[in-house]
Amino acid sequence: MLHFHALDAPTPFLFFTGKGGVGKTSLACATAIDLADRGSRVLLVSTDPASNLDEMLEVRLSDNPAPVPNAAGLFAMNIDPEAAAESYRTRVLDQLGPAVSPEERSTVREQLSGACTTEIAAFDEFVGLLDGDMAGFDHIIFDTAPTGHTLRLLSLPKAWTGFLKDNDRGASCLGPHSGLKMQENRFRQALQALGDPKRTTVVLVTRADRSAIREVARTSGELDALNLSNQTLAVNGRFRAADPADVVAVALEREQDEALASMPASLTKLPRDEIPLFGFDIVGLPALRRMLASSNPRDPNDAGERDAEPIDLPGLNRLVDDIAQGEHGLIMVMDKGGVGKTTIAAAIAVGLAKRGHAVHLSTTDPAAHVNFVVDGVMPGLTVDRIDPRVETERYVSKILASRGRDLDDQGKALLLEDLASPCTEEVAVFHAFSHVVAEARSAFVVLDTAPTGHTLLLLDATGAYHRQMTSQLEPSGPGRIVTPLMRLQDPTHTRVILVTLPETTPVSEAAALQQDLRRAGIEPFAWVINKCLIASGTHDPLLRLRLAGERTQIARVQDGLAKRSYMIGWRSKPPVDVEELEALS
């Protein structure tokens, strides 16, 4: 039995957070099953807009707790952002009272149609769980969205209690402030529950690689600042080479050892658990039970893959060649996080610049680290990021200079109060995103997007703007407005690249994202399958066990999901400078 600190004296609330793709959901599920098997009543909740709890537990879930078959005492649910937003809109509209005219009611509903309303509504559901809306459970386990999105979610109680203090005038994209003040006590109680080490434990999940450790260290510091200091560290996917003569296995173990040896002091002081890399996919209850029950990562019934036909898929250089046939355009590199999309975005940008194009590489990821990947300079390549804090300051200054120009002191004070809303950040980031989309009319712009939950919120904001602009167009009006969503839907302007790993869950998540994009009228251009061991030549028994699974997932992508697919082999260390990125592309 593996030792796992979070199970020593489990608190009522347990949060699992970390960079996308590190195994948060697997570990949250395994913990929930273990507690239920001990006789506790457990509720497992996903706050991730791109949740895959259903697939992990092999049960269809909704926004109400559902019993998990073959795990007595375990219930699970997804917080449905759209259902939460509609419920929130209804509650705010009900608070307006009968004296409000239909026109005013319609205006408030329009204010409540944006992405930030969806976010605060989902957060309101989350606060309810902390506030006892689901009494009767011994433990509530939160499988959270990737860290950038989670930090924003967990900072909302503090942001909103400050915003609402002495402020019951005006309105924002969340509706009348007087209505929000009714929630203030719930927000305050949520903060108290999160900061109480007897009630809440935060499990920081990481892989033994430098970028994941760097992000989890940043997360740990920001959670400390929010008074969530009862933290433990779980290093998932720890690998030990069985044969010292296997170059690939030895390099993989050495890479992990070096990453852990350079871990910041803020993490080394935390209680730490190491969960081994398994030779099989952690999907379904039997596999999830084995995750914490056994230190043996091999499946005794599986002898591993024998020699098989090589897989012939083009590499990233071919993808860059295909993109470079145009003279400009937006390339959006997307997926859940933890699959290497930042490296892929950087390699595409460097490859295009190497072919003589002017390229702007940027990111919308709150946990941006493109500058860590593109270490160096090259002609024609510009690297920056859409920084939410900077964009918010710029947006507030612009609004004060325009809408606030002719206001008196009282009017300016009211405007500043409204702009103090946490939702202002979403609007500001959207404006910066729109500018980048437009820039691709005359150059190549490569956008390393946030993990999918946050990206979908941004695309929702784009869609809301699209609806607002097109509803104002008169049939006989002059000219034609081209909105950001129209540009994203235009395959001659935008190419969306989905990045995945050759594993069940990442492929399923990419497939779900593809469906979401198609519902928005956006058709992905290609899939990139990253970190494939299949051509590495390894004979390590554990790694060989993983090859059959890789082959199944690559076939799944090729045969029914991707119009174009490209493959990148496993590398002993991630490319971290321009020269290595050139070699990759």
What is the pLDDT confidence band of residue 351, given thresholds at 50, 70 and 90?
Answer: very high
Is-contact 372 350, C-beta < 8 A? no
Provide the pLDDT for residue 228. Answer: 84
| Mean pLDDT across 176-187 | 55
Model confidence at 225: pLDDT above 90: no
Half-sphere exposure of 306 (CA within 13 A, CB side): 1
Within 112-183, residue ranges assigned H as helices are 115-130, 147-164, 177-180
For 281-306, how does the pLDDT look when each residue is reduced to its tens digit (9 = 90+)?
888 999 999 998 766 665 545 555 55
Residue 463: how many other CB atoms lie within 10 Å: 20
Q: How far is CA 150 from the centre of its chain?
A: 8
Provide the pLDDT for residue 176. Answer: 42
More confident position, 458 or 33: 33
Provide the pLDDT for residue 393. Answer: 87
Tell me how far apart the alpha carbons of residues 418 and 191 are, in angstroms, rounded to a whole number: 23
Instruction: Tell me, yes or no, if 453 is annotated catalytic.
Output: no
Instruction: Tell me, yes or no, if 23 is annotated catalytic.
Output: yes
Provide the pLDDT for residue 9. Answer: 92
Instruction: Tell me, yes or no, if 24 is annotated catalytic.
Output: yes
Within 378-478, residue ranges assigned H as helices are 388-402, 409-419, 423-439, 452-471
Is-contact 360 445, C-beta < 8 A? yes
DSSP annotation string for 260-317: HHT--HHHHTS-EEEEEPPSS---SHHHHHHHHH-S--S-TT-----S-PPP----HH
By CB neighbour count within 10 A (0-12 exposed, 13-18 middle, 19+ buried), where does 355 fall?
middle
| Mean pLDDT across 106-127 | 69
User: 373 — phi, psi (to 5°)?
Assistant: -85, -50
Q: State the average pLDDT for the chain.
A: 80
Total number of residues shown for the chain: 585
Model confidence at 260: pLDDT above 70: yes
Task: Tell me which of 20, 21, 114, 179 is the catalytic residue.
Answer: 21
Task: Tell me which of 421, 505, 536, 585 is the catalytic residue.
Answer: 505
Tell me how far apart the alpha carbons of residues 527 and 45 are, in angstroms, rounded to a whole number: 30
For the four alpha carbons of 563, 568, 574 and 578, in that order, the dihedral sign comes to negative
Task: Tell me which of 25, 118, 206, 421 is the catalytic residue.
Answer: 25
Instruction: Tell me, yes or no, if 48 is annotated catalytic.
Output: yes
Tell me how far apart the alpha carbons of residues 277 and 300 are, in angstroms, rounded to a whole number: 15
Task: Tell me which of 17, 18, 19, 23 is the catalytic residue.
Answer: 23
User: 324 — phi, psi (to 5°)?
Assistant: -70, -10
DSSP annotation string for 229-265: --EEEEEEEE---S-TT-HHHHHHHHHHHHHHHT--H
Q: Which amino acid is at 68?
A: V
Q: According to the per-residue pLDDT averaged within each range, which of 161-165, 303-307, 333-337 is highest?
A: 333-337
Task: Tell me which of 26, 421, 449, 536 is the catalytic residue.
Answer: 26
Q: How far is CA 293 from CA 5, 39, 272, 283, in A?
A: 14, 16, 17, 15
Task: Tell me which of 18, 19, 24, 206 is the catalytic residue.
Answer: 24
Q: How far is CA 332 from CA 313, 494, 564, in A?
A: 22, 7, 15
For 468-516, how does the pLDDT look when each residue is reduced to its tens digit (9 = 90+)?
656 655 555 555 567 777 788 889 889 999 999 998 888 988 898 898 8
Instruction: Tell me, yes or no, if 338 is annotated catalytic.
Output: no
| Mean pLDDT across 454-466 | 60
Please give the model's pTM, rounded to 2 decimal places: 0.73
Provide the pLDDT for residue 387. Answer: 80
Instruction: Pick the closest to residue 364 from 424, 422, 437, 419 (CA basis).
Output: 437
Q: Which two tokens stand for residue 378?
A: 């090259």
Task: Tell me which of 48, 335, 460, 540 is the catalytic residue.
Answer: 48
Instruction: Tell me, yes or no, if 362 is annotated catalytic.
Output: no
More confident position, 179 or 213: 213
